[in-house]
Amino acid sequence: MKVKRIEAHHITVPLIAPYKLSKKYGTVTHAQAVITRVHTDDGLVGIGEANPMPPFTEETWGSVFAAVEHHLGPLLLGTDPRNITACNGLFDSALAGNLLAKGCLDVALWDLLGKSLNAPVHRLLGGALRSEIPLLWPLGSGTPQEDVDRIRAKMDEGYRTFMIKMGALPIDTEIARCEAIVEAFGETIRYNVDANQGWDLAQTLAFMDGTRGLPMDFVEQPLPRTADWGLPEVRARATHPISADEGVQTMADATTLAAAHAVDVFSLKISKNGGITRTWQVAQVAAAFGIRCLMNSMIECGVSQAAALHVGAALPNLWDSGQCYMSTKRLKDDVTDFGSLIHDAVATVPDGPGLGITLDEDRLQKYTDASLVLE
């Protein structure tokens, strides 16, 4: 089996409602993705996805295109796509970094491998430990009353885990948001907070002191990732577990954070971490250090979501709350049928070959702004 054709499509899909993140990221109105298709000489097609979101990601959709067109794709053409380790080695021989570009091909290789063996990706990762996974719902930055109202509305849909986006408001207001949530819902829900690199060390310590003893799952990425050296001090002073997201991209990042006793949780994202292979590797580093993993998401379409669902299904050290399989629920449309796996805020792990989802040709064309083909 040989790769004979590679396609990449840049798509832009509007969100149902604007999503207000930290000061650093502003308000997001559209999902950006690069959807890939890797064709083999015997007629199989694997699909992948990258989710560039500068300045969260260093890569842009244009840089993903350039990496695939000029560096990664030419090496993949003519190779056996089932040799995933060898293919990732070729990618690394051509380019350092560029995890999103490598990831959108890696995901397509896992999809192809599953299709060639008539097996779901989770089985190739060692088998599913769970067949259903509850969802988390993320709340953009808002007032304490807006948070309570939004949580109540989402509880009616079945959600019991929430991620509260912070980093855009004064620390006192952010503390008041947590107090309002605990007062309104007690322990009937689980929630974590995500500052998206929005605070400095003094603000982070003030937040930890102000929320001392409040029930809370964890505090994610309070500091800029370049200042994660401050996390051990934060963790020593906090009563809440600490999570890294932007700060944990590579296995080296994971090892550095773990060895520094900086975090309790890694937020994993298929695209950010460079595909299924590298996300799984980071999760194994986490396991070695007793760190658990949240299957998080970028604002992404169904291919990345399906890949994350297979990894989450097979991961022994999955954090025990809802996971981020809600991304397509925030989009006005998706280019896959991933949404059919979600019912009552629970994702059912697919058992079909590969990723177990299909790409819709009409919707792919509708949202495509630019394409490239390598043969």
Positions in the binding site for Mg ion (CB under 5 A): 194, 220, 245
| Minimum distance of Mg ion from residue 359's CB (angstroms) | 27
Q: Are 264 and 213 in contact (CB under 8 A)?
A: no
**Is the bond leading into 55 cis (omega within 30 degrees of zero)?**
yes
Q: Which residue number, 59 or 245, has a Cβ lying nearer to Mg ion?
A: 245
| Minimum distance of Mg ion from residue 246's CB (angstroms) | 7
| Minimum distance of Mg ion from residue 221's CB (angstroms) | 5
Ranked by CB distance to Mg ion, the top (closest) residue is 245
Distance CA 106, CA 58 (A): 19
| Minimum distance of Mg ion from residue 103's CB (angstroms) | 17
| Minimum distance of Mg ion from residue 369's CB (angstroms) | 26
Q: Are 294 and 282 in contact (CB under 8 A)?
A: no
3-state secondary structure the chain: CCEEEEEEEEEEEEEEEEEECCCCCCEEEEEEEEEEEEEECCCCEEEEEECCCCCCCCCCHHHHHHHHHHHHHHHHCCCCCCCHHHHHHHHHHHCCCCHHHHHHHHHHHHHHHHHHHCCEHHHHCCCCCCCEEEEEEEECCCCHHHHHHHHHHHHHCCCCEEEEECCCCCHHHHHHHHHHHHHHHCCCCEEEEECCCCCCHHHHHHHHHHCCCCCCCCEECCCCHHHHHHHHHHHHHCCCCEEECCCCCCHHHHHHHHHCCCCCEEEECCCCCCCHHHHHHHHHHHHHCCCEEEECCCCCCHHHHHHHHHHHHHCCCECCCCECCCHHHHECCCCECHHHHEECCEEECCCCCECCCCECHHHHHHHEEEEEEEC
Q: Which residue number, 111 or 194, has a Cβ lying nearer to Mg ion?
A: 194
The single residue listed with the structure tokens 């007690």 is: 186
Strands 45-50 and 292-295: unpaired
Q: Which residue number, 106 or 220, has a Cβ lying nearer to Mg ion?
A: 220
Q: Which residue number, 196 or 277, has a Cβ lying nearer to Mg ion?
A: 196
| Minimum distance of Mg ion from residue 163's CB (angstroms) | 8
Q: Are 31 and 61 in contact (CB under 8 A)?
A: no
| Minimum distance of Mg ion from residue 194's CB (angstroms) | 4
Q: Which residue number, 220 or 228, has a Cβ lying nearer to Mg ion?
A: 220
Q: Which residue number, 194 or 228, has a Cβ lying nearer to Mg ion?
A: 194
| Minimum distance of Mg ion from residue 196's CB (angstroms) | 6
Q: Which residue number, 88 or 271, has a Cβ lying nearer to Mg ion?
A: 271
Q: Which residue number, 105 or 265, has a Cβ lying nearer to Mg ion?
A: 265
Q: Are 181 and 145 in contact (CB under 8 A)?
A: no
Q: Which residue number, 241 or 354, has a Cβ lying nearer to Mg ion?
A: 241
The single residue listed with the structure tokens 């709340």 is: 139
| Minimum distance of Mg ion from residue 254's CB (angstroms) | 15
Q: Which residue number, 54 or 89, has a Cβ lying nearer to Mg ion?
A: 54
| Minimum distance of Mg ion from residue 244's CB (angstroms) | 9
